[in-house]
Structure 1
């Protein structure tokens, strides 16, 4: 059965399952934790426990039992590159705010030197820029409003200088940041704080790659080993006073073959939908999914390796076929013949 037909029936089955579920209990403002969980699990594949942690944090805040003197929640997301840590936060922003980019994102890899701590709290009195209170923080996206929480993402937090991390201690502990000039402050008490990190992920990926080459796999033992390696790396890196201020640490799973196949199908499905909007019908055979997965899946690179392979092996020949087509609408078929992916 062709890939697209397979995907169509799977979507119908999913819709039927959702329809059969009992109505969830809603809070006064209409928040539905089950709906949020379904939405995030649709976008972030193979990370159900990470989605559960985020839904749990949002649910606690919506009930109103979170500590009023701290941020709504602070969650550390740890795991290999390309498994969906940053994308999960973007999807939370899409669900709780106006879109996936409606959040305050701080790229911590750009704050690798000690003096960059001033870019968070502003220049102290007597230094250039102290009166203007320049800061990387977007106050509107952090403080939110009565019906819209703020969302802050500290991306790749382990790459920042230690002094930058120390500048965040007060934010995580009291939910407030007083700027260095002493005249203004930013409140994080109506915002969700997410931190991402790749600590321990390289060792886990190397182990997983070695297991794949030896062609053996013990799921329970492998998962436990993965979790322990990452957690140990996190606890060794962060100072206890910093680590102790984080509400929850979530370890993302490295991709296995099953998740890689699901991600491949999702990425190809997204390509098909984009082409459909441009009057191009693309039928993709199941053999293409297997081909892309074999060529592009590597535990070290996660979904990014699959996207690169789809771009070079499938998107490029599709683009060439569309550009050389003599008339529209264009109908294409992608399949694998004699070990080569062809688009006709």
Structure 2
């Protein structure tokens, strides 16, 4: 089976291995299509085709059942600037492979910045408070999954954790198992995709992109250089024994103007969709989209800067217009956003039915 958990291997390894190949073939032809997954992820994560390809490659290899049964299905390190979609990519993988974008085990590594927090992963040893309860941050059900449902684990901002915490993950990456400190239970990661995100090198890459943006006009040159900076920072930060246990390292590209415009339009369209569900139609001129992009685009903050600009420059004036012009709480209202003298102006059209407007 493509997603056979390790506990089934332990019950009968020989019979499971015999059953793997025909089940994997049936699963491939009956449900999983790499092209469909690629299109879905690329539609949600703009401008990161190489990262999406790496994830699709990992899922495809695992789906046909040829991964090492003694290790996780795959372990992928996602590195690059903040706000470019690293965590969101994992959420979209969870939405595609499990029941929703939040159906995964997410560990915020920035909260494990001290040595003693390593016990949060493996639990308290015998004789310490909580040892009998086997408390751990890991959600066993979301990690082990089922025969046709893989687990997904996200270690977010992994570089912010203490070195002791990272060493505790070595055994997980190497053998796909974590034995809790009380010695009575263990968690299997052999049916899981493990993702790690990191912002290492992003500040240096963003500073380089800012300083040379006016001078570098050839497509791809800034991104290639920034990628090298990030990869060097990642390789110098992690111990070789940790880094060598990761199957693949993917460096996300910093936003360029084209990607920034695409993300801006996507975020504005999401806002329009939310307004439509509340009976408000919003039409946005192209010059407003460009205005918001210029106000919010910054290679350091990525999509987060754009979202802040949309909130302050578009969502807040829309909210004010709705509160001012709406006659009844459920009555329809149509608004148009256009640019006049570098400011956003909204004109309400009373009794207009909401329309499906895309910026």
Assess same fold via TM > 0.5.
yes
CA RMSD in angstroms, aligned pairs only: 1.2
What residue in structure 1 maps to residue 271 of structure 2? 271
Which residues in structure 2 correspond to 1:27-176 (within 5 Å)?
27-176=28-177
How far apart in 2 are the matches of 1:133 and 1:156?
25
CA distance change for structure 1 residues 111 and 332 in 2, over 3 Å: closer, same or farther? same
What residue in structure 2 maps to residue 339 of structure 1? 342
How far apart in 2 are the matches of 1:272 and 1:255?
23
1:157-213 residue CA offsets vs partner (Å, 9 max, x unmatched): 00000000000000000000000110000000000000000000100001111123x
How far apart in 2 are the matches of 1:36 and 1:26?
15
1:140-160 residue CA offsets vs partner (Å, 9 max, x unmatched): 000001111000000000000
CA distance change for structure 1 residues 341 and 181 in 2, over 3 Å: closer, same or farther? same
1:195-247 residue CA offsets vs partner (Å, 9 max, x unmatched): 000000100001111123x3533334323211211111011000000000000
What residue in structure 2 maps to residue 233 of structure 1? 233
Count of matched residue positions in the alignment of Structure 1 and Structure 2: 319
Contact map agreement 2:156 2:196 (CA 8 A) in 1? yes
CA distance change for structure 1 residues 26 and 184 in 2, over 3 Å: closer, same or farther? closer
**Secondary structure at 1:158's aligned position in 2?**
helix
- Structure 1 residue 291 and structure 2 residue 291: aligned? yes
How far apart in 2 are the matches of 1:97 and 1:220?
35
What residue in structure 1 maps to residue 201 of structure 2? 200
Deviation at 1:329, TM superposition (A): 0.8
How far apart in 1 are the matches of 2:200 and 2:240?
16
How far apart in 2 are the matches of 1:200 and 1:155?
16
Contact map agreement 1:282 1:333 (CA 8 A) in 2? yes
Deviation at 1:343, TM superposition (A): 1.3
Contact map agreement 2:208 2:226 (CA 8 A) in 1? no
What residue in structure 1 maps to residue 260 of structure 2? 260
How far apart in 2 are the matches of 1:215 and 1:175?
47
Deviation at 1:41, TM superposition (A): 0.4
How far apart in 2 are the matches of 1:58 and 1:137?
22
Which stretches in structure 1 are left out of the alignment for 5+ residues?
1-24
Deviates more, 1:318-327 or 1:25-34: 25-34
How far apart in 1 are the matches of 2:288 and 2:27?
43
Contact map agreement 2:206 2:226 (CA 8 A) in 1? no
What residue in structure 2 maps to residue 18 of structure 1? none
**Secondary structure at 2:235's aligned position in 1?**
helix
How far apart in 2 are the matches of 1:219 and 1:163?
42
Q: TM-score, normalised by structure 1?
A: 0.91
How far apart in 2 are the matches of 1:34 and 1:216?
34
